[in-house]
Amino acid sequence: MSLLEVRDLRITAGGVDLVRDLSFDVAAGEMLAVVGESGAGKSVTARAVVGLLPAGLRVSGRIRFDGEDLVGAAAYRKLWGRRIAFVPQDALSVLSPVHTIGDQLALAVRSVRGVGRREALARAVAALDRVGIPDAARRARAYPHEFSGGMRQRAVIAMATVNDPDLVVADEPTTALDPTVQARILDLLDSFRERAGTAVVLVTHDLPVAAARADRVLVVYAGRHVESGPAHRVLREPRAPYTAGLVASLPSPHSTSRYLPVLPGTPGSPGPGCAFAPRCPAVVDTCALREPESVEWRDGHRVSCHRLADLPPRTADLFEGITA
Ligand code: SF4
């Protein structure tokens, strides 16, 4: 049973579709990675899910959380910080520079639980400790500028999870952090899934992270569904040329070439057919005329490509590089 159901999500800006007909589900305790190149509509999708779209964008379709349709700010207000939390890419955008980290977390606790200041602060310190901030009681008295980038991001995760939400939506939470800190933050998200059954939607452009951490992946291009399903299937046996191109552009330990293959071209304005057609090595006439529908290939692995049935199988291993 899905905790989050998104159906036919459409997001437009000035009459242009940023996201079109996107549907996906996330179950309790599951991590869904939303992957694709920059500008593919990942972040705007994440923000739509948590009801934090910038002004000027229009959203339609259905977002259902724990059996309830989320429509309008009032529906989200009941859930923000309590059952649904958002971790943005840039920690500084959510931390106030003029309040201590501890006060900010304590305020998040009090606004949801209505407890006294002392208890809220104790919970704030416990949350900082849980995300691995050393000497949390002392550090709670520090201001955001006194934290390193990795510590700030951990503080934001502490803030997002201090009230044990059921769903965390994290938009590139480890971008610009060094690999060790990245791994710790991803470990943290895993620990919340295991400890509290928290569902996670992880927006990332990092396919190896998606392969290593996510239960399922959703590959998007120009705001459209490309391929989705269990991570081990989609990323080891990609069926869509776009996913295959993304996987092939990763470094392989078996390659003898000095150069990485790259996906040719850049995303442009989609025409009436498949959005990837101008860049696709497998394009045929139909592709430019009709948008492909999402079709189940097998066992929950869905693909949007007119040539799903006739393209040869490919296999790839993100950890071993391309194996066949
Ligand atoms: S529908 Fe056509 S253009 Fe689009 S990915 Fe498939 S083969 Fe390529």
Ligand 1 touching residue 162 (CB < 6 A): no
207 CA to middle of ligand 1, Å?
A: 21
**What pLDDT score does 319 carry?**
42
Q: What percent of the chain has pLDDT over 70?
A: 91
pLDDT value at 10 more than 70:
yes
275 CA to middle of ligand 1, Å?
A: 8
pLDDT value at 57 more than 60:
yes
pLDDT value at 253 more than 70:
no
- Model confidence at 323, pLDDT cuts 50, 70, 90, reads very low
What confidence tens digit (pLDDT) does each residue in 190-216 have? 988 988 899 999 999 899 899 999 999
62 CA to middle of ligand 1, Å?
A: 27
**What pLDDT score does 254 carry?**
59
Q: Which of 280, 291, 293, 295 to mutate to test the pocket of ligand 1 (most atoms within 8 A of CB)?
A: 280
Q: Which of 221, 263, 284, 286 to mutate to test the pocket of ligand 1 (most atoms within 8 A of CB)?
A: 284
140-159 average pLDDT score? 92
Q: SS3 sequence, the chain?
A: CEEEEEEEEEEEECCEEEEEEEEEEEECCCEEEEECCCCCCHHHHHHHHCCCCCCCEEEEEEEEECCEECCHHHHHHCCECCCEEEECCCHHHCCCCCCCHHHHHHHHHHHHHCCCHHHHHHHHHHHHHHCCCCCHHHHCCCCHHHCCHHHHHHHHHHHHHCCCCCEEEEECCCCCCCHHHHHHHHHHHHHHHHHHCCEEEEEECCHHHHHHHCCEEEEEECCEEEEEEEHHHHHHCCCCHHHHHHHHCCCCCCCCCCCCCCCCCCCCCCCCCCCCHHHCCCCCHHHHHCCCCEEEEECCEEEECCCCCCCCCCCCECCCECCC
Ligand 1 touching residue 241 (CB < 6 A): yes
Q: Atom 3 (ligand 1): residue with closest C-alpha?
A: 277
- Model confidence at 322, pLDDT cuts 50, 70, 90, reads very low
Ligand 1 touching residue 287 (CB < 6 A): yes
Q: Atom 6 (ligand 1): residue with closest C-alpha?
A: 305
141-167 average pLDDT score? 92
Ligand 1 touching residue 263 (CB < 6 A): no
123-144 average pLDDT score? 94
Ligand 1 atom closest to residue 242's alpha carbon, by position in its atom list: 5
Q: Atom 1 (ligand 1): residue with closest C-alpha?
A: 305
Q: Which of 246, 279, 287 to mutate to test the pocket of ligand 1 (most atoms within 8 A of CB)?
A: 287
Ligand 1 touching residue 224 (CB < 6 A): no
Ligand 1 touching residue 292 (CB < 6 A): yes
**What pLDDT score does 198 carry?**
94
The whole-chain average pLDDT of the chain stands at: 88
- Model confidence at 5, pLDDT cuts 50, 70, 90, reads very high
Least confident of 33-37, 70-74, 258-262: 258-262
pTM: 0.90
240 CA to middle of ligand 1, Å?
A: 7
**What pLDDT score does 90 carry?**
81
**What pLDDT score does 173 carry?**
86
69-79 average pLDDT score? 83
List the domains of the chain with CATH numbers.
Answer: 2-214 (3.40.50.300), 241-304 (no CATH)
- Model confidence at 135, pLDDT cuts 50, 70, 90, reads very high
**What pLDDT score does 324 carry?**
30
